[in-house]
Amino acid sequence: MADRLDQVKSLISSHPDFPKPGILFRDIFPVFRNPKVFRHLIDLLCEHVKTAVPKAEVIIGLESRGFLFGPMMAEQLGIAFAPVRKAGKLPGKCRSVSYSLEYGTDKFEIQDESVKPGQSVVIVDDLLATGGTMKAAVELLEGLGAKVDECLVVIELKDLNGKAKVTKPFHSLIHY
Ligand code: PRP
Ligand code: HPA
């Protein structure tokens, strides 16, 4: 039987020219159709965090696909979860930052109460492409005084060199 990571990898599908010509889109959703492999993915992410950032206090999930993993990881690790969302969706006092994407621009927000100054956070997303999204999230968290101890993604698209934009420890489970 293939190891757990190979099982996850085998379920990630590739779609040429989606959502625009020239983009090879890696789709993580087939993993969620197989609960056993989805469980392996969450376990692998949590095992990594326990080793790399044993004192992590908050998992930060990036809209939207960071929300697929972040809360489950936080629950399994017994720590807090907080979302970073597209602008205009979070109530209360928020910080915001604009960023550019592989195919467009966007604006992210976080609620000021999501983390306390000095807290150790791990930022989680499904995928790193150009790195603009992760860079914006790091800026938001540092603006709140958090310690970004790791940026963690399931998939890294190496050709786009997004890692160069991430100034914090970075880890990907799968790369193309
Ligand atoms: C995708 C992906 C990452 C981001 C990576 O999200 O889920 O969050 O792009 O791109 P980057 O490294 O070039 O910044 P998207 O912005 O498409 O948002 P969605 O998940 O809400 O559809
Ligand atoms: N897959 C999913 N999300 C993405 C991708 C991709 O290949 N590129 C940028 N965001």
Query: Distances from the Cα of 31 to the Cαs of 9, 85, 131, 155, 161, in angstroms?
Result: 9, 23, 23, 13, 25
Active site residue 113: no
The rounded Å distance from CA 57 to ligand 1 centre is: 24
Q: Which of 57, 63, 65, 109 is catalytic?
A: 65
Chain centre distance of CA 56: 15
Residue 148: its pLDDT value, please? 98
Centroid of ligand 1 to alpha carbon of 144 (angstroms) = 22
pLDDT at 101 (0 to 100): 77
176 residues of the chain, pLDDT tens digit each:
679 999 999 999 999 999 999 989 999 999 999 999 999 999 999 999 999 999 999 999 999 999 999 999 999 999 999 999 999 999 999 999 999 876 678 999 999 999 999 999 999 999 999 999 999 999 999 999 999 999 999 999 999 999 999 999 999 999 99
Is any ligand 1 atom within 6 A of the Cβ of residue 129? yes
The alpha carbon torsion through 165, 61, 98, 18 (nearest 10 deg) reads 80
Measured from the alpha carbon of residue 26, the closest ligand is 2
Confidence (pLDDT) at 72? 98
- Give the domains, in start order, of the chain with CATH numbers: 54-175 (3.40.50.2020)
Ligand 1 atom, smallest distance to 165 CA: 12
Q: Whose CA is nearest to atom 16 of ligand 1?
A: 101
**What would the two tokens of residue 66 be?**
């960071």
Largest Cα separation within the chain, whole Å, is: 50
Looking up tokens 């990594």, which residue turns up? 48
Is residue 124 within 8 Å of residue 60, measured between CB atoms? yes
List phi, psi (to 5°) of 126.
-75, -35
In degrees, to the nearest 5, what angle opens at C-alpha 170 toward C-alphas 117 and 175?
A: 150
Backbone angles phi, psi at 175, to 5 degrees: -130, 155
